Structure 1
């Protein structure tokens, strides 16, 4: 079973992309990259997962938007449960400038057989897609008291926060179930180093966000509702959040 993470560029910016594979209950990194165009993202999906091959794709973008205005139910629930961690999400509606782009991505994945899976039977192979949001996922996975603020602020401050994220990935995700193995044949870890410049920092940010998305996909498939939360549903839109330590009561 493969697990793909797409940190999607909501407007026109590049998308971070990650592919993990599960073998003997261990996740291994197959690809970690960044691409510009939506067509390139979809071609990457096709290259990672052949026709009819089982996989679960986790997208950091609102791919279901039923409301003409205001906030979706999952957006409101994200603020309710994760606002105190500074992890409330950006509201989405059909009037949002990114709506057409993100909806079309979800439809393109559905056309490839990846059905929305706000509910599923744990560890049952299939072709699924879910919406995720890295910030609340990190709060739960890493037991944070607030989000890692690597997206805004001075370059030096963002770099420090991104260093923290990279180290959390290396230290914690290998200890969870399913465990993430990032070791190479040479004994080193396979994550890129944190760079010094702003442009390179943004590229690594997108890649690490996509890795978190891919891990959330694996965690959802592996545990289902037992160790995950679902904010919303297929009708209202939804966001899947891992909760391996039962930090938040069920929605």
Structure 2
């Protein structure tokens, strides 16, 4: 099922964030994010062109009350007001021509019914109560710019929200997968303190769109509750349940020290060949990283428990030499331990180096060479050995390795 989440600007002069993803079972994978000034017409056209099945929108889709608040907004206030997540009132006096209502009506004409997941659908959502419910927070997470708010406080709030969203990768309810390529192109995870002005606002809009996309996934899997009615206006929020399994912080993986040693040997080959041919050296380094990343997804197949234990790699859904895809397939708790945020840029830049540039004489091979992959291979091998030691590995290579 193709889904979208929209953080819709309440005026057509401001930027909106749109996140697109694909839902398969209980896994939601983000595949594209947009941020810019979009009209209701352009958004509706984009959803139709992408064949989106369902969309969650952060904006009032139905406004029929002349004044005051919609009943759904009162309901949200009753449930989340004590956690500082009440709604701003929406009414026809205040918003006689709200762009969200315009968008919703266009979506209705395009076959997107309200709430009904058995056809194409649209729902209204609200990120603050969604975040509170999903992550069991005591109050609203402060990441949106408010009058008098320090930039540093907003940066910290956005950093915290990013970490929370990434933790959903192992959610027992609905897993959220943000491929490293999508993350690098759209977010500044781990570097929020460097953002300011428009870049900071765009980061906020994209994160809000991501929350909306996740709510769309929850609605598609019948994990939402509805406040209000279609006639008077409604807001869907996540069901109250455990979205992050605190008892399963580590995804199981099997230690394969021989594979780590093999990765190290290719790294040594990269060092030795650097003086002879830098391009060959880069290929050896890329192969070292590939083997290291694969080592965390190997399963014992022969000589189990012995020093010469042999393994199988059966991750057929992952491209064999694509370093970014292999990183994305790592057990979630290991990602930050093996690859720092800054290193992801290098990993993504050379993600297909082995498959596309190992033959330097071919027309499409990368021109020139550098030691970026060698440095990254060295760092990752040292970090992998540290992880193995933390897990009590007694292999001679691991124990005698000088980190």
1: distance between equivalents of 2:242 and 2:66? 34
Contact 2:10 2:98 in 1 (8 A): no
1:73 corresponds to: 71
Structure 1 residue 132, shift from structure 2 partner: 0.3
Contact 2:80 2:129 in 1 (8 A): yes
Deviations 1:17-47 (A, max 9, x none): 0111012432111111112021332332233
Against the structure 1 CA distance between its residues 185 and 214, is the aligned structure 2 distance closer, same or farther, given a 3 Å change threshold? Answer: closer
Mark the runs of 5 or more structure 1 residues left unpaired by the alignment.
Answer: none
1:19 corresponds to: 20
1:245 corresponds to: 241
Structure 1 residue 130, shift from structure 2 partner: 0.5
Contact 2:134 2:238 in 1 (8 A): yes
Structure 1 residue 212, shift from structure 2 partner: 0.6
1: distance between equivalents of 2:86 and 2:59? 14
2:332 corresponds to: none
Q: 1:136 aligns with which of 129, 153, 160?
A: 129
2: distance between equivalents of 1:139 and 1:173? 18
In the TM superposition, 1:1-251 aligns within 5 A as 1-12=1-12, 13-38=14-39, 39-49=41-51, 55-97=53-95, 99-117=97-115, 120=116, 125-151=118-144, 152=146, 153-184=149-180, 192-193=187-188, 194=192, 195-223=194-222, 227-245=223-241
Deviations 1:77-136 (A, max 9, x none): 11110011111011100112364322111101111110111xx4xxx5420000000000
Structure 1 residue 169, shift from structure 2 partner: 0.2
1: distance between equivalents of 2:112 and 2:142? 32
Higher helix share: 2
For the residue of structure 2 that corresponds to 1:102, the secondary structure is helix
For the residue of structure 2 that corresponds to 1:214, the secondary structure is helix
2: distance between equivalents of 1:160 and 1:25? 30
2: distance between equivalents of 1:89 and 1:21? 29
Structure 1 residue 74, shift from structure 2 partner: 0.6
Q: Count residues in correspondence.
A: 234
For the residue of structure 2 that corresponds to 1:231, the secondary structure is strand
Contact 1:72 1:236 in 2 (8 A): yes
Contact 1:3 1:215 in 2 (8 A): no
For the residue of structure 2 that corresponds to 1:148, the secondary structure is coil
Structure 1 residue 3, shift from structure 2 partner: 1.3
1: distance between equivalents of 2:171 and 2:184? 15
Of the two, which has the highest radius of gyration? 2
1: distance between equivalents of 2:180 and 2:200? 23
2: distance between equivalents of 1:189 and 1:35? 18
Mark the runs of 5 or more structure 2 residues left unpaired by the alignment.
Answer: 244-403
Against the structure 1 CA distance between its residues 163 and 114, is the aligned structure 2 distance closer, same or farther, given a 3 Å change threshold? Answer: same
For the residue of structure 1 that corresponds to 2:23, the secondary structure is strand
2: distance between equivalents of 1:73 and 1:22? 31
Deviations 1:64-84 (A, max 9, x none): 011011100011111110011
Further displaced range: 95-104 or 62-71: 95-104
Further displaced range: 35-44 or 80-89: 35-44
- Could you list the structure 1 runs, at least 4 aligned residues long, displaced by more than 6 angstroms after superposition: none
Further displaced range: 11-20 or 173-182: 173-182
The structure whose RCO (Cα within 8 Å, separation 6+) is larger is 1
